[in-house]
């Protein structure tokens, strides 16, 4: 019988310095007793580090309307903007003893927390230094990273996979600027599989359903319109808009790097590429 992969992705189930447990979720056209998933994740690897790569096989945990697999990685390497370490490898769908489809999976192990002491990535402080761009290429990502940039603010649109692959590989967080209601929370839900996904910024025309999306959710503060209503993780705006904003909410500046502002409330800055 024929069979194919409908969807497959990796999620971090548990991670600490001693070991990490990843879960691989695979949805197939059909699942029978003779349906098998084979493969492995290999790593870590990064364009900025020499590493010893080790293969970690998939182990099946359960099956229902999907197949759930586990990958155990002792002493994992973490993804961060300065050290974007990734694990990747093949996932194969076998049916009745025959290979039906093979795809590549990629995953970065990382944690992101917004605390009273500021943004923490893998438990360490992180100041955001970003650019605004309609889109970008691998060459852009490499150039920005080499220049100290660790964030890209892009329109929340249905872009190709190359954008995410470049951001993952070269250590750039991605924030999506949500301008249309139909993009929320669909874009965020689709993007959360990538280690470079940081969250979204909602404009005044987007819905303000904070509980509906993953990642950090910010509000853009325009100078000539009403801001989005609701509770947000952070505020985005130019110096004038942020000066008039309520105090106590973390903020991301649209403009040049602020001079001398090292407060925990200032997450960083984003300027035009």
Residue predicted with more confidence, 211 or 268: 268
- pLDDT given at position 158: 83
Contact, 213 vs 188, CB < 8 A? yes
Among 43, 72, 107, give the residue marking a domain's end.
107
Residues 100 and 228 in one domain: no
H/E stretch holding 196: none
Q: What is the biggest distance separating any 2 CA atoms in the chain, rounded to whole angstroms?
A: 66
For residue 259, what are the domain limits?
A: 112-272
DSSP state for residue 265 in the 8-state scheme: T
DSSP state for residue 259 in the 8-state scheme: S
We report the CATH number of the domain holding residue 257 as 3.20.20.80
Q: 228-255: per-residue pLDDT in tens?
A: 667 789 999 998 888 888 778 899 999 9
Residues 101 and 212 in one domain: no
Among 81, 107, 133, give the residue marking a domain's end.
107
Q: 32-41: per-residue pLDDT in tens?
A: 999 999 999 9
CA distance 139 to 143: 6
CA distance 58 to 151: 32
pLDDT of residue 270 exceeding 90, the answer is: yes
Sole residue written with tokens 């409330």: 265
CA distance 115 to 128: 14
- pLDDT given at position 224: 63
Instruction: Give backbone dihedrals phi and psi of 162, rounded to 5 degrees, phi first.
Output: -60, -35
CA distance 157 to 170: 21
Structural domain tally of the chain?
A: 2
Residues 258 and 124 in one domain: yes
Residues 118 and 73 in one domain: no
Conformational region of residue 158, where left means phi above 0, alpha means psi within -120 to 50, and beta covers everything else: beta
Q: Average pLDDT in the 164-176 region?
A: 96
Q: Average pLDDT in the 68-90 region?
A: 97
Query: Is 0.85 topped by the overall pTM?
Result: yes
Residues 176 and 43 in one domain: no
Q: Average pLDDT in the 55-74 region?
A: 98
């Amino acid at each position: 019988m024929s069979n194919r992969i409908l969807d497959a992705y990796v999620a971090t189930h548990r991670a600490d310095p001693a070991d990490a447990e990843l879960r691989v979720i695979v949805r197939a056209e059909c699942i029978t007793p003779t349906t098998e998933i084979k493969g492995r994740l290999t790593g870590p690897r990064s364009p900025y580090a020499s590493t010893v790569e080790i293969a970690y096989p998939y182990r099946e945990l359960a099956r229902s309307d999907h197949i759930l697999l586990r990958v155990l990685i002792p002493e994992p390497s973490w993804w961060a903007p300065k050290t974007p370490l990734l694990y990747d490898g093949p996932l194969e769908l076998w049916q009745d003893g025959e290979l039906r489809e093979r795809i590549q999976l990629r995953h970065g192990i990382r944690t992101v927390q917004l605390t009273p002491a500021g943004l923490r990535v893998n438990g360490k402080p992180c100041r955001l230094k970003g650019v605004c761009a309609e889109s970008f290429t691998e060459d852009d990502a490499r150039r920005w990273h080499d220049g100290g940039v660790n964030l890209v603010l892009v329109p929340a649109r249905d872009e190709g996979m190359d954008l995410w692959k470049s951001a993952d590989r070269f250590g750039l967080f991605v924030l999506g600027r949500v301008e249309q209601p139909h993009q929320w929370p669909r874009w965020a839900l689709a993007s959360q599989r990538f280690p470079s996904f940081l969250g979204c910024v909602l404009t005044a025309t987007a819905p303000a359903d904070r509980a509906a999306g993953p990642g950090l959710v910010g509000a853009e503060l325009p100078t000539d319109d009403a801001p989005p209503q609701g509770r947000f993780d952070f505020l985005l705006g130019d110096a004038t808009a942020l000066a008039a904003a309520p105090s106590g909410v973390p903020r991301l500046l649209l403009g040049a790097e602020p001079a001398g502002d090292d407060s925990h409330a200032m997450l960083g800055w984003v300027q035009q590429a």
